[in-house]
């Protein structure tokens, strides 16, 4: 079972315009870029719902600009501020996690862009799939936490999933028109992050400000730290497994410091197809919004002659042990990846707060993984419980 169809020809002819989009995580890096694409193409897209976590002032500013039908803030304590600002404009408002889940199911939503960060993406994505909405999936943690569960849910729904993550968008583009039987391997590129050339000793003393300096991509804080530990690449291997339906041992990560080749597919005849572009999320976001249809001018053109060399190297798992957690999570199965995700969220927040060192992120995850009860076939209630317990345990050992 796999989530992304290889042959997208039928889908390409079915794109409804203008398409009504719900952007959850609207105030973030992916969310704001998504809204920029939407507002540049009113003939194609309309933002009917926008939602955020806590930054109510940013959400209000976006609502004033994009005029959605509904704006939702997850933090209920910010609701009165949102209401006071948007009621005079005739924009509906709501607050809380349930409101977020209800918002993505509305009749005036065709596609949901899941641009929230971390575990918070799971519940609204499930609600959207149950309501038959298409998903432009940025929130990879949804598939990390509950890949099997989401896959089964999708099999019973008319929802389709379009990857936003640049590596998965690249693979999706490389697979277009191909027979999956001819696929040998998915090769996911990684920049190597800010610590690629640091020694293990230097990394032990790395500060949050060092880890937040991503060499190529401008992203939210959590994914930037995940890139520095290479946890992001582990998550992307798991994400690829569920999106494209290949075994974990058919998916590998390769370090490509220039971030120009966004990922590759190797075929049984020896051919390798790659998708190249500048490190800019506009293209993959636009490709997902368009259901695999290209949007001219989505990002600045890449002048390939500007690059004297594109280099590739094997990742150093001694220095970046978080990368091994992908295979470990897939080997253990069940609720293991949910535990890893929860412990990682707590550890990353603690590192950003200066409470633990950079290398403690991995040890926090491993200790939590070993301590949590294993559940072989988790349902939604098990994910909620596992997430809560793993977060509590990880917090207790920090
Ligand atoms: P940001 O931190 O920039 O933005 C996160 C967004 O999620 C904000 O709008 C935030 O709202 C919102 N949010 C946080 N908590 C909640 C909650 N409980 N309920 C509802 N909304 C919430 O993250 P990014 O845009 O960088 O990343 C978003 C997702 O996309 C992640 O899963 C990431 O892995 C993935 N991704 C990101 C890429 C990038 O280039 N940034 C590339 C590929 C994937 P607020 O700020 O108001 O609290
Ligand atoms: Mg990525």
Give me ligand 1 centre to Cα 28, in Å: 5
The span from the CA of 124 to the CA of 104, in Å, is 7
**How much is the average pLDDT of 27-43?**
98
Query: What's the pLDDT at 223?
Result: 95
Q: Which of 5, 302, 30 is nearest to 172 (CA)?
A: 5
Query: What's the pLDDT at 43?
Result: 97
Atom of ligand 1 nearest to the CA of 56: 47
Give me ligand 1 centre to Cα 220, in Å: 6
Cβ atoms of 210 and 351 within 8 Å: the answer is no
- Unique residue bearing structure tokens 């998965």: 168
Given a cut of 50, whether residue 320 has pLDDT beyond it is yes
The bound ligand whose nearest atom lies closest to the alpha carbon of 283 is: 1
Between the alpha carbon of residue 287 and those of residues 104, 169, 170, 258, the distances in Å are: 21, 8, 10, 22
The strands making up 70-73's β-sheet, listed across from edge to edge, are 92-95, 70-73, 45-52, 19-24, 111-114, 134-137, 161-163
The span from the CA of 394 to the CA of 371, in Å, is 10
Domain 333-398 coded CATH 1.20.120.520: no
Cβ atoms of 223 and 191 within 8 Å: the answer is no
The average confidence (pLDDT) of the chain is 95
Given a cut of 70, whether residue 46 has pLDDT beyond it is yes
Residue from 25, 47, 143, 281 to probe ligand 1 pocket by mutation (most atoms less than 8 Å from CB): 25
Query: What's the pLDDT at 343?
Result: 98
Q: Which two tokens stand for residue 231?
A: 């946890």
Residue from 29, 168, 384 to probe ligand 1 pocket by mutation (most atoms less than 8 Å from CB): 29
The bound ligand whose nearest atom lies closest to the alpha carbon of 189 is: 2
Give me ligand 1 centre to Cα 290, in Å: 21
Determine if the pTM surpasses 0.85: yes
**Which residues are near ligand 1 (CB < 6 Å)?**
24-31, 51-55, 74, 100, 115-117, 120, 138-141, 165, 217, 219-220, 222-223, 281
Given a cut of 60, whether residue 342 has pLDDT beyond it is yes
The span from the CA of 288 to the CA of 286, in Å, is 5
pLDDT band at 13, cuts 50/70/90? Answer: very low
Determine if the peptide bond prior to 18 is cis (ω within 30°): yes
Query: What's the pLDDT at 15?
Result: 55
**How much is the average pLDDT of 245-273?**
97
Between the alpha carbon of residue 273 and those of residues 25, 55, 187, 211, 288, the distances in Å are: 32, 41, 10, 32, 20
Give me ligand 1 centre to Cα 201, in Å: 31
Query: What's the pLDDT at 3?
Result: 67
Query: What's the pLDDT at 2?
Result: 61
Nearest-CA residue for ligand 1 atom 9 is 25
pLDDT band at 17, cuts 50/70/90? Answer: confident
Give me ligand 1 centre to Cα 116, in Å: 4
- Please give the residue that has the higher pLDDT: either 157 or 13: 157
Give me ligand 2 centre to Cα 167, in Å: 5
Domain 9-164 coded CATH 3.40.1050.10: no
Given a cut of 60, whether residue 28 has pLDDT beyond it is yes
**Angle, CA of 347, 353 and 358, to the nearest 5°:** 50
The span from the CA of 266 to the CA of 255, in Å, is 16
Query: What's the pLDDT at 7?
Result: 41
The span from the CA of 14 to the CA of 200, in Å, is 51
Give me ligand 2 centre to Cα 86, in Å: 34
The bound ligand whose nearest atom lies closest to the alpha carbon of 168 is: 2
Given a cut of 90, whether residue 332 has pLDDT beyond it is yes
Residue from 30, 49, 345, 387 to probe ligand 1 pocket by mutation (most atoms less than 8 Å from CB): 30
Q: Which of 55, 63, 78 is nearest to 23 (CA)?
A: 63
Give me ligand 2 centre to Cα 239, in Å: 10
**How much is the average pLDDT of 104-128?**
98
The bound ligand whose nearest atom lies closest to the alpha carbon of 142 is: 1
Query: What's the pLDDT at 12?
Result: 47
Nearest-CA residue for ligand 1 atom 14 is 53
Nearest-CA residue for ligand 1 atom 43 is 165
Q: Which two tokens stand for residue 221?
A: 């804080």
Give me ligand 2 centre to Cα 366, in Å: 23
**What are the boundaries of each domain within the chain?**
9-164, 178-277+302-317, 333-398
The span from the CA of 19 to the CA of 165, in Å, is 21
Give me ligand 1 centre to Cα 147, in Å: 19
Residue from 101, 123, 138 to probe ligand 1 pocket by mutation (most atoms less than 8 Å from CB): 138
**How much is the average pLDDT of 121-150?**
98
Ligand 2 ion local residues (Cβ < 5 A): 165-167
Query: What's the pLDDT at 10?
Result: 42
pLDDT tens string 195-244: 999 999 999 999 999 999 998 989 999 999 999 999 999 999 999 999 99
What DSSP line would sit under 220-243, residue for residue?
Answer: -HHHHHHHHHTHHHHHHHHHHHHH
Same fold, 9-164 and 333-398: no
């Amino acid at each position: 079972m796999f989530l992304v169809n290889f042959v997208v020809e039928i889908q390409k002819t079915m794109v409804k315009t203008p398409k009504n989009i719900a952007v959850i995580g609207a105030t973030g890096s992916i969310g704001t870029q998504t809204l920029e694409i939407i507002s540049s193409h009113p003939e194609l897209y309309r933002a009917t719902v926008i939602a955020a976590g806590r930054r109510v002032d940013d959400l209000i500013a976006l609502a004033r600009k994009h005029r959605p039908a509904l704006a939702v803030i997850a933090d209920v304590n910010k609701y009165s501020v949102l209401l006071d600002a948007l009621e005079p404009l005739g924009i509906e408002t709501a607050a809380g996690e349930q409101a977020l889940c209800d918002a993505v199911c509305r009749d005036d939503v065709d596609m949901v862009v899941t641009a929230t960060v971390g575990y918070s993406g799971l519940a609204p994505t499930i609600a959207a799939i149950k309501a038959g909405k298409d998903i432009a999936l940025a929130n990879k943690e949804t598939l990390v936490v509950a890949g099997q569960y989401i896959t089964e849910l999708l099999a019973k729904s008319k929802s389709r999933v379009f990857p936003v993550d640049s590596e998965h968008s690249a693979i999706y583009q490389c697979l277009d028109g191909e027979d999956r039987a001819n696929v040998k391997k998915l090769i996911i590129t990684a920049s190597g992050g800010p610590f690629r050339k640091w020694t293990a000793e230097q990394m032990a003393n790395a500060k949050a400000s060092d880890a937040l300096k991503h060499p190529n991509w401008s992203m939210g804080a959590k994914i930037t730290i995940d890139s520095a530990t290479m946890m992001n690449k582990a998550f992307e291997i798991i994400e690829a497994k569920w999106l494209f339906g290949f075994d974990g041992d058919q998916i590998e990560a390769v370090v490509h410091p220039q971030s120009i080749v966004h990922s590759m597919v190797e075929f049984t005849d020896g051919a390798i197809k790659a998708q190249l572009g500048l490190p800019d999320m506009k293209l993959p976001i636009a490709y997902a919004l368009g259901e695999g249809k290209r949007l001219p001018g989505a990002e600045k053109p890449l002048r390939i002659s500007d690059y004297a060399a594109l280099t590739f190297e094997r990742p150093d798992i001694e220095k970046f042990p978080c990368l091994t957690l992908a295979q470990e999570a897939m080997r253990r199965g069940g609720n293991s990846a949910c535990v890893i995700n929860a412990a990682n969220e707590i550890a990353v927040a603690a590192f950003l707060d200066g409470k633990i060192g950079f290398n403690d992120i991995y040890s926090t995850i491993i200790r939590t993984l070993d301590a949590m009860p294993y559940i072989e076939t988790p349902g939604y209630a098990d994910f909620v419980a596992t997430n809560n317990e793993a977060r509590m345990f990880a917090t207790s050992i920090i």
